[in-house]
Structure formats: C-alpha cells, structure tokens
Structure 1
Amino acid sequence: MFRGTGTALVTPFAEGRFDEESFRRFIEFQIEGGVEALIVLGTTGEAPSVSEEERTEIISCAVATAAGRVPVIVGTGSNSTNHAVSSSLMAQELGANGVLVVTPYYNKPTQEGLYRHFREVAKAISIPMVIYNVPGRTGCNIHPDTVLRLADLENVAGIKEASGDMAQVDDLIRRVKKVRPEFKVYSGNDDQAFHLVCSGGDGVISVLSNVVPRETSTMIRSALDEDLPAARKAHMKLFPMMKGLFVETNPIPVKCAVARLGYCSQEIRLPLVPLSEKAKDGLDCLMDELGL
C-alpha cells in the first residue's frame, strides 16, 4: 500500500454514459500531479449509481491508464458480505492493486459482525484490503479494538478513517502501530489529514486532490517528512477549499470543480443533483484564490 496521497477519483459521465476519454485524461492529470495512488469507485466516484457493466469498464480503464505507475485501489464495499466478496474478486481479476471496503451501511452490524464481514472479504482475495470507516454515511462505527483484531489478518493492509473523532484516530494509531507498524492509517477527511499524519498516520484518501493534486500531495509529503512548517502552511492555504468541497453533499461540489478545470462535464447521477448556483459562486471564489 501507499504512503502519501490517494485521490478518491470522480467518475466522468457524458450523456448518461461513462466517459472513458475524460477519465483517462483526468488520471494523467492526477499522476502528473504527484499523487501516490488512485482510488476508483468510492463515494466520490458515485459508486452507488454505477452499473455492474460500468464497474468493469471503469476499473479496466483505470488499471490500463495507470499502467503500474501508481496503485489502483477499487471501492468494493456493500452491506451484503457476499456482494462485497464478489465485487472484490472482480476487482482483483481486473488487475486492481487493492480494494477499499466500507463498513456495511443501513443494517448496522455489531462489532463482531463487522469483524466477520471484513474477515470474509479478506479470506476471499489475495490483494490488500483497506477498511473504510465513515459512520456519518453508514451509521456504523468500527472501533479500534475491532481494527486491531483485523490487523492480525495479513492482507488487511490499513484503514481509511473518516469518523471525524481524532481521539479515536489517535488511539488507533498508538495501538495498531505497536503491534503492526506497517499497517496503514489514512485520513478520510481532508481537513484532518495534516493532523492525522502528525499523529503518526500514513496519508490521506482525498477529495481535495481531485482539484489540486500537486498541492495536496506536497502537503502530505511535507508532513510525512516532518517538515511541519511547510505542511502547516499548505494546510492553512488549502483549508478553505477543503471545507468548500463539502458545502453540499460530496461529490456534488468536487464534480463541479473538476468540470471547471476542464476534465469532465458537470453531469451527476440522481439522486444527486448539480451544485446550486449560490454554492457555485462560492466555489468559483475559492478556485480564484488558489489561482485555478
């Protein structure tokens, strides 16, 4: 797995279909911007609105375009363990370097249920798996004790932590790094990534880097290199954009911003709708401030 910045990529659409040409151009923009990994079909990639046929097209396109230059990690989570297993196997067969598996949503399993869910996915595949904890979306929080149990499984490689609870994150880093130093802890929140890395974490799976890949990856590398003045300065400069990209539900604002940069259309799938005109004005101001 990577250390640094992994971009949670938007998925370009045009006239209701996956826009492969735009996706290839956008991936090149990300790699040229210095990101260390590409995360495909996560929340930011509108995974819930993508068909199985499109999943195959999107994963294949990402793997072919990356061509081994950076790892491609595919979102394969589901609230059905069997579906998460089959999606993870498909991603593996298509050449993914890893999978990102979110905690099951809506059915709200116990901690034992979470452990068994992730264990089943890990047993079925041979590529690394990253757990994704985002209770604000799933209604389900995976506790550090459960993560430590899962860290005993060889191909459970890390966690994307988006609980928003920095005390929980610090507790997890402190405990998991003692027993398995190579276990990766990534921030799932751009506005907490600087702090997580300073606490001993390994980077970020980022929405922000869709828009400013070089600036985001430079900030995170500075923090990893313990150049705290440079990292802090970059964090403060980028902080307004970090917040602005969540003025409405992700990925609505970031899809608009990437479209403003010319890498895709603003087309987004229901039940999400395009960014409101008022929010667009604010986003334009933030992009102007960054020279975009």
Structure 2
Amino acid sequence: MFEGIGTAIVTPFKEGNLDIESYEKLLSFQINNQINAIIVLGTTGEAPNISLDEREILIKKAKEVSGNKAQVIVGAGSNGLNHTIELIKNAEKNGADGLLIVTPYYNKPTQNGLYEYYKYIAELTDLDIIVYNVPSRTGINILPETVYKIASDCKNVKALKEANSSFEQINKDLLLLKELKDFKIFSGNDDTAFQLLASGGDGVISVASNVIPLQMVQMFKFIKNGEIEEARNIHFSYYKLFKNLFIETNPIPVKAALSIMGFINNELRLPLVPASEPTMKIITETLKGCGVI
C-alpha cells in the first residue's frame, strides 16, 4: 500500500462522454508532480455515474500513464454487495493495484454488519483494500474498533481513509489502528490532513491535489522529515482552497477549478451540475489568491 499523497482524480467529460484527452493530461500533471497514487472512480471521480465499460477505459488509462511511478487504487464500493463484487472484478481485470471500498451507503448497517461486509469482500480478492469512511455522504460511521477488528481478521485490509472530520475519531484511529502492523491511515479531508499527518498518519487521499499536487507532496515530505513549520506554512497557504473546494458538493468546485486552469471542461453528469456563478467567482478568486493562476 502506498504512503504519501493519493489524488482522488476527477473524471473529465466532453458533451456527455469521457474526455480521455483531458484525463490523460491531468494524469500526467499528477505523475510529473510526484503524486504517490491515483485514486480512480472515487467520490471525486463521480463513480456512481460511470458505466462498467467506462470504468475499464479509465482504469487502463490511469495504469498506462502512471507506469511504475504511482499506484492506481480503484474505488469499487457500492451500497449493495453484489454490485460491489461486480466492481471489484472489473478493477481486478483491468490491473488495479488496490481497492477503495466505501461503507455501504443508504442501508445504514450496524457495526457488526460492516464487519461482516468487509470480511466477505476481503475473502473474494487478493488486492489490498482501503476502508473508506465518509459519514457525511453515506449516513454511517464505521468506528475505529470495527476497523481494527476487520484489519486484524483480514490480512489484505491494509488502510483506512478517514473522512470523518471529528478530531476525536481521528485521534482514536491513530491510537488504536497504529497497533496493527503495516496498517496505514489516510486523511480523507484536505483541511485536516496536516493535523493527521503531524500526528502520525501515513498520507492523504486528496481532492486539492488535483489542483496543487506538488504542494501537497511537499507538505507530506516536510512532515516526514520533521520540518513541521514548513509543512504548516503550506497548510495555511492553501487552507482557503481546501475549504472552498467544498463550498458546493464535491466534485463540483474542483471541476470548476480545473476548468479555470484549462485542464478540463466544466462538465458533470446529472444529478450533479456545474458550479453556480457565485461559486465560480469564489473559486477564481481563491486560485488567484494562492498563486495557482
């Protein structure tokens, strides 16, 4: 499992179809700026709106561009077991290096249900699995104790992406899960990534690194080298960007930012729609304010 910065890559569209030319350009931007992993088909990649055939294209292109320079982790979770299995098989077939499996949304399982779900999935694949906790979008919060039990019993459950912004939960993650050998904890929120990394976390699965990959990599390297003040300076230099990339539902603002930067069209698939005019203005001002454009 990678350590460092993984970019939760957007999926570019052009007139309703995949825009592979823009996707390749964005992937190259990431790899050229030393990103450690590309996370394909996560929340930021609009995974629920991507067909199986399109998933194949996106995974293969990410593998092609990344080569041996970055791992390709594929979002393969859904709210139903059968669909999740289908997505896992698709990821395996197309060369994924690992899987990002979100807690099943809408169903709101118990903690025991979550344990049984991940245990069942882990037995079906040899790929390493990242448990993805994002209660603001799923309606369920997987507890550190549950993750500990899953990882203890499933050798290929290797990491947690923690997108619960509660520092109490983040601290419990770090205290409990670091007892597990070779288990990694990734921040799922850019605005709290510095704090998690400085407290012993292993990386970030980042939305902001679509826009500022090198700066996110530098922040991680500074922390690894014990240069906390330098890392803190990067964190606060881009803190407004971290926050404003979530002023509308992700990935609406980051797609707006990338369109302003000239990487992609500002296009999403329904029910998501492009950023409002006020948001476009805020994103433009934010990019200018932190020197991105």
Bucket of the pairwise TM-score, normalised by the shorter protein: over 0.9
Match of 1:287 in 2: 287
Distance in 2 (CA, whole Å) between partners of 1:82 and 1:221 is 40
1:38-77 paired onto structure 2 within 5 Å: 38-77=38-77
Equivalent residue, structure 1, for 2:206: 206
Q: Does 1:253 align with 2:275?
A: no
When the two structures are superposed, what TM-score results if normalisation uses the length of structure 2?
0.97
Following the alignment from structure 1 to structure 2, what is the Cα–Cα distance between the partners of residues 225 and 18? 40
Q: Give the corresponding residue for 1:168.
A: 169
2:4–2:36 contact (8 Å) kept in structure 1: yes
The residue type paired with residue 146 of structure 1 is T
Q: Residues of 2 paired with 1:251 and 1:172: CA distance?
A: 26
Task: Determine the C-alpha separation between the residues in 1 that align with 2:51 and 2:89.
Answer: 17
Residue aligning to 2:26: 26
Alpha-carbon distance in 1 for matches of 2:226, 2:103: 32
Shift of 1:216: 1.1
- Deviation track 1:221-278 (CA, whole Å, cap 9, x = no partner) reads 2122221000101100010000010111100000011111111111111111111111
User: Contact 2:7–2:209 (CA<8 Å) still a contact in 1?
Assistant: yes
Structure 2 counterpart SS, 1:275: coil
Structure 1 stretch 129-138 or stretch 213-222: which is displaced more? 213-222
Uncovered stretches (5+) of structure 2, i.e. residues with no partner: none
What letter matches 1:240 in structure 2? K
In the alignment, the residues of structure 1 paired with residue 160 and residue 279 of structure 2 have an alpha-carbon distance, to the nearest angstrom, of 32
User: Is the contact between residue 89 and residue 124 of structure 1 (CA under 8 Å) also seen in structure 2?
Assistant: no
Spell out, residue by residue over 1:131-153, the C-alpha distance to the aligned partner (whole angstroms, 9 max, x if none): 00000000000011110011111
Task: Give the 5 Å matches for 1:204-283.
Answer: 204-283=204-283
Deviation at 1:290, TM superposition (A): 2.1
Does structure 1 conserve the Cα–Cα contact (< 8 Å) formed by 2:4 and 2:202?
yes
Q: CA deviation at 1:50?
A: 1.0
Output the CA distance in 2 between the equivalents of 1:278 and 1:188: 26
Native 8 Å contact 2:194 2:235 kept in 1: yes
Aligned identity (percent) is: 45
Work out whether 1:90 is the aligned partner of 2:97: no
CA distance in 1 between partners of 2:2 and 2:52 (Å): 27
Task: Provide the C-alpha distance between the structure 2 equivalents of 1:278 and 1:200, rounded to a whole number of angstroms.
Answer: 38
Between 203-212 and 257-266, the greater mean CA deviation after superposition: 257-266
Kept in 2: contact 1:202–1:224 (CA 8 A): no
Deviation at 1:167, TM superposition (A): 1.1
Residues 132 and 163, structure 2, Cα contact 8 Å, conserved in 1 = yes
Query: What SS does structure 1 have at the residue aligned with 2:69?
Result: coil
Q: Residue type of the partner of 2:168?
A: A
Deviations 1:181-225 (A, max 9, x none): 410100000000000011111010000000010011111221222
CA distance in 1, matches of 2:268, 2:86: 26
Which consecutive residues of structure 1, in runs of 5 or more, have no partner in the other structure? Answer: none
Equivalent position SS for 1:39: strand
SS at match of 2:287: helix
Root mean square deviation of aligned Cα: 0.9
Match of 1:177 in 2: 178
How far is 1:84 from its partner? 1.1
1:79-158 pair list within 5 angstroms: 79-152=79-152, 153-158=154-159
AA in 2 matched with 1:158: A
Q: Residue 225 of structure 1 aligns to which amino acid in structure 2?
A: N
TM-score by length of 1: 0.98
For 2:212 and 2:4, the matched residues in 1 are separated by 14
In the alignment, the residues of structure 2 paired with residue 95 and residue 123 of structure 1 have an alpha-carbon distance, to the nearest angstrom, of: 19
Tell me, in whole angstroms, the C-alpha distance in 2 between the residues paired with 1:267 and 1:221: 33
Maintained 8 Å contact 1:162/1:187: yes
Aligned-partner SS, 1:151: helix
